């Protein structure tokens, strides 16, 4: 956790957001990174996502089972989703969502939006060309040499 906090401090000094994360496997830090949203002009460049990408590259896999993530702040919904998709087994965090909200990093609106029916959300979510899109799913289902994830 101290390394995640160090990376967060370093990020602030370098113009990035105040967040850092590390991924550990078998007691060894596999990857670490900080938030680079403003540096990279990438709204997905949160510390956890950056760290997951580095860990997957290093280990040569998209499956981080057996790993633990230490993040300087409770993960936002996007990062939490990425952590689950990567199959990371445990999350430790420093600051809470409330602590982040107190410095104007509020994720609550996303959690609230997810609880709403689609027709009541701020950003419209509308189905389009489902029949055509289903063709791709049929191709996937029929593929015999796919790598499942």
CB contact at 8 A, 34 and 73? no
Number of H helices and E strands in the chain, helices first, is 7, 4
Q: What is the distance between the terminal CA atoms of the chain, rounded to a whole angstrom? A: 29
48 noted as active-site residue: yes
Q: What is the dihedral of CA 97, 73, 51, 4, to 10 degrees?
A: 180
H/E stretch holding 69: strand 67-73
Return the SS3 of 32. strand
Catalytic residue (one of 48, 74, 112, 148): 48
Active site residues: 48
């Amino acid at each position: 956790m101290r390394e995640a906090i160090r990376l967060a401090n370093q990020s602030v000094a370098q113009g990035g957001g105040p967040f850092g994360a590390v991924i550990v496997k078998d007691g060894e830090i596999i990857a670490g990174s900080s938030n680079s949203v403003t540096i990279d002009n990438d709204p997905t460049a949160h510390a956890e996502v950056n760290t997951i990408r580095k860990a997957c590259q290093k280990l040569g896999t998209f499956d981080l089972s057996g790993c633990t993530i230490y993040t300087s702040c409770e993960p936002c919904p996007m990062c939490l989703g990425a952590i689950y998709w990567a199959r990371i087994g445990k999350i430790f965090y420093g600051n809470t969502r409330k602590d982040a909200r107190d410095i104007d990093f509020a994720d609550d609106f996303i959690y609230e939006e997810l609880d709403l029916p689609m027709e009541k959300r701020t950003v419209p979510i509308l189905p389009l060309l489902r029949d055509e899109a289903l063709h791709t799913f049929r191709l996937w289902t029929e593929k015999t040499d796919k790598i499942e994830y």
